[in-house]
Amino acid sequence: MKEKTILKLKLNTDPRWVNIAGKNIEDILVDHAWCEQKAASTGISMIIHYPEKTRLVDELTDLVAEEWSHFERVLLELRKRGFQLGRPRRDDYVVQLLAHVRKGGARERQLMDQLLVSALIEARSCERFKLLWQHIADEELSKFYYELMVSEAAHFVSYVDLAKEYCDPVVVEERLQELLKIEGEIVTNLPVRDDRIH
């Protein structure tokens, strides 16, 4: 329950997920690699769009390096097991969440939504990594997911803090609550799959 409190997620992952995902490590690792790539690319994209925001640029520069080092490590886990990096797949979870980034209007509102959606993706990844850490049989991989869980929790906090740096913290908190509700609904409505992190 602790991570639910820290991360504020409205809904725990369906317990069936980790049982089926844990049996399909190849697809989970491939999907995970692409999640790290998307996280790195999203950070780069925000730096390109907001180069004048010093704190955002500095923190996301570190975050991109960290996400890319995770990509490297997931790739290593694939290689150790003789697996290929499969093709990237459409990530319905992320696509549906991104649809709630409000475009147009004040530039700060869009930035707030982008930062909060990124925060929620990190939070959900963290929750799933916790399940992998606790339940998968492969001890080495279990330790790996423990480390990544800790790292993603820190990224959740960074993204929310950045939103509060550039936008009214009261508005950020309200919007975070709205998006947490939306995120819970998206997760409820998506099928439980053995080949996806989300």
The site for a second copy (CB under 8 A) is made up of 37, 40-41, 44, 47-48, 51-52, 54, 57-58, 61-62, 64-65, 68-69, 71-72, 75, 79, 84-88
Three-state SS for 81? coil
Return the number of other C-beta atoms located less than 10 Å from residue 98's C-beta: 15
The identity of residue 81, as a single letter, is R
Pairwise CA distance, residues 143 & 18, whole Å: 16
| Pick from 9, 6, 75, 3: nearest CA to 36 | 75
Q: Tell me whether residue 7 or residue 60 sits nearer to a second copy (CB atom).
A: 60
> Phi/psi class of residue 97: alpha, beta or left (left: φ > 0; alpha: ψ in -120 to 50)?
alpha
Q: Which is closer to a second copy, CB of 86 or CB of 184?
A: 86
Q: To the nearest whole angstrom, how small is the minimum distance from the Cβ of residue 71 to a second copy?
A: 7
Q: Least distance in Å: CB of 155 to a second copy? A: 16
Q: Say if CB 186 and CB 97 are below 8 A apart.
A: yes
Dig out the tokens for 183 from the structure: 């995120």
CB nearer a second copy, residue 55 or residue 181: 55
What's the closest the beta carbon of residue 107 comes to a second copy, in angstroms? 14
* Closer residue to a second copy in complex, CB, 68/166: 68
| Least gap, CB of 44 to a second copy (angstroms) | 6
